[in-house]
């Protein structure tokens, strides 16, 4: 199995730290709003990666964080914590906001059939580990304390920025939440490890005691601390979006590898590309930031969106339009109709051989940097060949793509009897009775298609 490693910009073979096992960490949500469809694309990428690892017989220990503290709204000193700003807007506590949007996130994941992580860890449940990491960085001379915060000194790390391929003197100040205009910072790129409850954060709702005073962690610290707490110093694979490369993941690497005497944080770094909407970046001003709820309200099933994501490779930008989603919906309905053939026909020997060959081709495509478009192309070839699926083939597809094809139940005994009656009516050229029986089945959501091989049924929704 081979994957594209952002660190080095090359396709590399997956070589686990421990044979047969993978330690996987995926950056999770900041729980101050609903996940939008761009965020959801990244979740589907993570899910495809995890499913592919499992299909390649790896036992996956998957940890994901929940950012429920420390994510600031802008680059300036007056920036507020995103959760606290939302709490003020909604008249809730930050704890209530975090709980509400964490639940919304997990519900979205379930609707999209995303496999749950082995462990979901909120940043607020790893404070002790974060404090310990800051102390270690202070002790090793990689951090310094000023009035407002404790910062990581990027000048102390020779290979800072290696994930981007930039040297420190080439790296511009990233437009990110923790890059503040604190006059006490030694370098513009120095990032906050711990904020004190002074100045603009004097009344911050979330704060904890530390050896240096009351405060709360910076955004990047939680991921390093949670990885250390749950998975150890070095993991096999770390994922995120391309927007994480320049700042968040660069700073994660810096603080983790400094704390652990240069041990690599992760052997493979994978990043998914942006989702555009009508060829434009999502923004509130353009009113093109959609959620899963918006998609469902338009009459789409969450799995229509899942199939839409699978149609593009994770390292290419993907463009969302309602028309393209409708095309994905139609494609999924065709796939579902084909999956329903499992209850109506059996693949002959030639068909079974074709399914075996298709499975091998799909497995090869997934093992080649998660080539889901190729997998879907192979599936289309199988469907166009008119081969009825076997249970084993649908099990493989569900494991790989998560479209829940095997969940599609057979029709009832009564519905089968109606189809038999209709076939007899057609044979005797009683087309009025035939149409009546067709309409009766249609009320049950069952569509009929008369083929040279006999009448075939499919459900017209779901």
**Distance separating alpha carbons of residues 317 and 152, to the nearest angstrom:** 33
Q: Is the confidence at residue 184, as pLDDT, over 50?
A: yes
pLDDT value of residue 211? 97
* Distance (Å, whole) CA 97 – CA 91: 9
Q: Which two tokens stand for residue 46?
A: 């993570």
Residues 14-272: name the CATH superfamily: HUPs (3.40.50.620)
- Each domain of the chain, given as residue ranges in start order, spans 14-272, 277-401, 413-459
* pLDDT confidence of residue 177: 44
Three-class SS of residue 125? helix
- How large a percentage of the chain has pLDDT more than 70? 94
pLDDT digits over 342-385, tens only?
999 888 999 999 999 999 999 999 999 999 999 999 999 999 99
Q: What H or E segment, with its residue span, contains residue 339?
A: helix 322-339
* Averaged pLDDT for residues 411-438: 93
More confident residue, 362 or 283: 362
pLDDT over 90, % of the chain: 80
Which pLDDT tens digit goes with each residue over 1-34? 999 999 999 999 999 999 999 999 999 999 999 9
Q: Which residues pair with 59 in a beta bridge?
A: 21
Write down the pLDDT at residue 461. 64
172 or 359, which is more confident? 359
- Sorting pLDDT into bands at 50, 70 and 90, what band is 139? very high
Banded model confidence at residue 78, pLDDT cuts 50, 70, 90: very low
User: How many Cα neighbours within 13 Å face the side chain of 239?
Assistant: 26
At 183 the pLDDT is 86
Instruction: Give the tokens for residue 439.
Output: 């309409």
Question: How does strand 454-459 pair with strand 446-451?
Answer: antiparallel
How far, in Å, CA of 264 to CA of 234, rounded?
A: 6
Asked if 225 and 130 touch (Cβ cutoff 8 Å), the reply is yes
Reduced to 3 states, what is the DSSP secondary structure of residue 430? coil
Q: What is the pLDDT of residue 171?
A: 53
Q: What is the mean pLDDT of residues 113-130?
A: 97
Q: Which two tokens stand for residue 328?
A: 């994905």
Mean pLDDT computed over 394-420: 95
| Kind and range of the H or E run holding 105 | helix 94-111
pLDDT, mean of residues 52-69: 97
Residue 176: its pLDDT value, please? 43
C-alpha to C-alpha distances, 182 to 79, 83, 190, 306, nearest whole angstrom: 12, 22, 10, 43
Range in 69-78, 254-263, 264-273, 359-368 the model is least confident about: 69-78
Helix 37-55 vs helix 302-310: angle between axes, to the nearest 10 degrees? 70
pLDDT band at 174; cut points 50, 70, 90: very low
Could you give the CA distance from residue 7 to residue 267 in angstroms, rounded to a whole number?
9
The pTM for the full model equals: 0.92
Instruction: Give the residue with greater pLDDT, 376 vs 78.
Output: 376
φ and ψ at residue 19, rounded to 5 degrees: -55, 130
User: Quick one: average pLDDT of 276-283?
Assistant: 93
In the structure, what pLDDT confidence band is assigned to residue 80 with cuts at 50, 70 and 90? low
Contacts of 23 (CB under 8 A, 6+ apart): 17, 61, 63, 231, 232, 235, 236, 237
pLDDT higher than threshold 90 for residue 293 = yes
More confident residue, 282 or 77: 282
Residue 57 to residue 69: CA distance in whole angstroms? 36
pLDDT given for residue 82 in this prediction: 80
Convert 138-148 to b/e letters by CB count within 10 Å (16 or more is b).
beeebbbbeeb
């Amino acid at each position: 199995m081979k994957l594209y490693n952002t660190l080095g910009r090359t396709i590399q073979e997956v070589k686990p730290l421990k044979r047969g096992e993978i330690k996987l960490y995926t950056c999770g949500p900041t729980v101050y709003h609903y996940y939008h469809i761009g965020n959801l694309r990244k979740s589907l990428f993570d899910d495809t990666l995890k499913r592919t690892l499992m299909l390649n017989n790896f036992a996956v220990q998957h940890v994901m964080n929940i950012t429920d503290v420390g994510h600031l709204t802008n680059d300036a000193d007056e920036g507020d914590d995103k959760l606290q700003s939302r709490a003020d807007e909604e008249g809730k506590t930050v704890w209530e906001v975090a709980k509400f949007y964490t639940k919304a996130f997990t519900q979205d994941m379930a609707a999209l059939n995303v496999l749950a992580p082995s462990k979901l860890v909120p940043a607020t449940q790893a404070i002790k580990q974060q404090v310990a990491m800051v102390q270690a960085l202070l002790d090793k001379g990689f951090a310094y304390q000023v009035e407002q915060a404790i910062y990581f000194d990027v000048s102390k790390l020779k290979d800072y920025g290696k994930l981007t391929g930039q040297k420190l003197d080439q790296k511009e100040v990233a437009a990110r939440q923790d890059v503040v205009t604190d006059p006490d910072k030694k370098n513009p790129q120095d990032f906050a490890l711990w904020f004190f409850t002074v100045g603009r954060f004097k009344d911050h709702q979330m704060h904890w005691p530390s050896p240096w005073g009351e405060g709360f962690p910076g955004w990047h610290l939680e991921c390093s601390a949670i990885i250390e707490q749950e998975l150890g110093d070095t993991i096999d694979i770390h994922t995120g979006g391309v927007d994480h490369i320049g700042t968040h993941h660069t700073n994660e690497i810096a603080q983790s590898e400094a704390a652990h005497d240069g041990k690599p944080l992760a052997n493979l770094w994978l990043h998914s590309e942006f989702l555009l909407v009508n060829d434009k970046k999502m923004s509130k001003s353009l009113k093109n930031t959609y959620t899963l709820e918006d998609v469902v309200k338009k009459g789409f099933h969450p799995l229509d969106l899942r199939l839409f994501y699978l149609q593009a490779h994770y390292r290419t930008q993907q463009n969302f339009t309602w028309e393209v989603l409708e095309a994905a919906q139609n494609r999924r309905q065709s796939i579902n109709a084909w999956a329903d053939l499992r209850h109506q026909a059996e693949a002959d020997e030639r068909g079974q051989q074709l399914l075996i060959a298709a499975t091998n081709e799909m497995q090869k495509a997934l093992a080649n940097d998660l080539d889901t478009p190729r997998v879907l192309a192979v599936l289309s070839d199988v469907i166009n060949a008119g081969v009825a699926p076997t249970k084993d083939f649908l099990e493989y597809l569900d494991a790989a793509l998560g479209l829940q094809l095997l969940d599609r139940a057979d029709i009832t005994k009564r519905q089968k009897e109606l189809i038999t009656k209709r076939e007899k009516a057609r044979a005797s050229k009683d087309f009025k009775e035939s149409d009546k029986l067709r309409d009766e089945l249609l009320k049950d959501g069952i569509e009929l298609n008369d083929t040279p091989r006999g009448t075939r049924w499919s459900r017209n929704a779901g």
